[in-house]
Structure 1
Amino acid sequence: MGMCLPCFGGAADDVVVTPDPETRRRQLAEAAEKRQKETAYRGVKNPEEVERKRKKQEEISKQEMTTSVSGGGGLKVILGLL
């Protein structure tokens, strides 16, 4: 019969050592981030390009917001010059 307990020898190589809780927490967090990235870019061939376009769109919308808040009279100025 085979020896199944590490105290009897032979099976000590089969014992799995679990990491401390902090290391395990970090590993789980990294795995979760990786899954989220994979899910977010599923079917996208070039995720960097998608990210650049998204950032550019955000910048454009911020500029539109600041323009509308700061005066929004750009059209009046142009009409006044005509």
Structure 2
Amino acid sequence: MGMCLPCLGGSGNDLSPTTDRETRRRQLAEQRQKETTSRGVKNPQAVERNKKNKEMEKQEMRPSPPGGGGLKVG
């Protein structure tokens, strides 16, 4: 006989409303993907900040198109 209440040693997931299988599979897949990407990373927020900073630097380093927005000398 299984226990269904968390206070009796059962899991709390037994009390949650049932979801269809596809939704549950999608949620588990997303959770696994997050765990995989953050494996070995102590501070995921810092990694995201560094990635954004590098992207901003790349955009700043791109040369402007010729003849666009420059001052006319005359």
Task: Name the TM-score, length of structure 2 as normaliser.
Answer: 0.54
Find the aligned partners of 2:27 and 2:59 in 1 and give their Cα distance. 32
Distance 1:63 1:30 in 2: 38
Higher RCO (CA 8 Å, separation ≥ 6 residues) = 2
List gaps (5 residues or longer) in structure 2: 1-17, 67-74
Listed as ranges, the gaps of 5+ residues in structure 1 are: 1-18, 72-82
Aligned with residue 70 of structure 1, among 53, 61, 65? 65
In percent, how many aligned pairs have the same letter?
A: 39
Q: Which has the higher helix share?
A: 1
Which protein has the larger Cα radius of gyration, Structure 1 or Structure 2? Answer: 1
**CA shift for structure 1 position 24:** 1.8
Letter in 1 for 2:41: V
What is the deviation of 1:39?
0.8
Residue 42 in structure 1 maps to residue 39 in structure 2: yes
Count of residue pairs brought into register by the alignment: 49
Residues 52-71 of structure 1: pairs in structure 2 closer than 5 A: 52-65=49-62, 68-71=63-66
TM-score, scaled to structure 1:
0.50
- 1:26 matched residue in structure 2: 23
Query: Residues of 2 paired with 1:42 and 1:58: CA distance?
Result: 23
